[in-house]
Each structure stands twice: as structure tokens, then as C-alpha cells.
Amino acid sequence: MAIKANIIIDQGADYSTAIELTDDSEAVVDLTGYTANAHIRKTYTSSNATPFAVSVNAVFGVITLNLTANASANLIAGRYVYDVILTSNTAIRSRVVEGIVTITPRVTT
């Protein structure tokens, strides 16, 4: 089951967040051989998506999501959804995080 985590992104600004994955005993999950991807969509059924740049630090069990200022500037202020999918080296896919993204409007361009 995915963890629920809502995030706020300032329109026109760079965004980065790190997600540390731990097991039930709070031990860091070894992500060796895993890849991850994540997208923002206006609704769950939207065909248009804005991808996060995603990196995986296997040893520390950390997935980092990044969105450039240019990418966030192209999102209209409002509410969106996102999720993070982790894929093992045997092609097993798991949704590890999901939630609401709030894009706050900018004044300065």
C-alpha cells in the first residue's frame, strides 16, 4: 500500500524532495536494481502528465523527485495528483507514494 503524502510546489520555482523508504522495522530498504518514476496529472484519468526527474540512491533507500522551474511554470495553479512507482529488476511494479500536489500561483515571472 502506498504512503499518502501531499506536497506543495511554487509555480515557476525549482522543487525537490527526498523520500526515504523503510520497512516495518524502520530499516532502510535496499533499492539496488530498482528504478522509479513519478508523474503529476490534473486528475487520475488525465492523458497529459508532467514527469518528475527521479533518482534512486539504492544504498540509502532514497528516491528523490525533482521538478525544474520551467516545468512548474507550465502548470496552472491549482490541485493535481501524483504518484511514485518503483520497479524492481524483475519488473515488479509497486506504488510507494501518492497524494495531492498543490501548485501555488506566482506573481513574479
Instruction: Write down the domain spans for the chain.
Output: 3-104
Banded model confidence at residue 29, pLDDT cuts 50, 70, 90 = very high
Q: Which candidate, 57, 59, 51, 58, places its Cα nearest to that of 101? A: 51
Cell numbers for 3: 504512503
What is the CATH code of the structural domain delimited by 3-104? 2.60.40.10
Cell numbers for 102: 498543490
Q: How far apart are CA 10 and CA 17, in angstroms?
A: 13
Taking only the tens place, the pLDDT of each residue in 65-77 is 999 999 999 999 9
Residue where the block lists cell 496552472: 76
Q: What is the CA radius of gyration of the chain?
A: 14
Q: How far apart are CA 20 and CA 57, in angstroms?
A: 9
Query: Is this structure's pTM higher than 0.75?
Result: yes
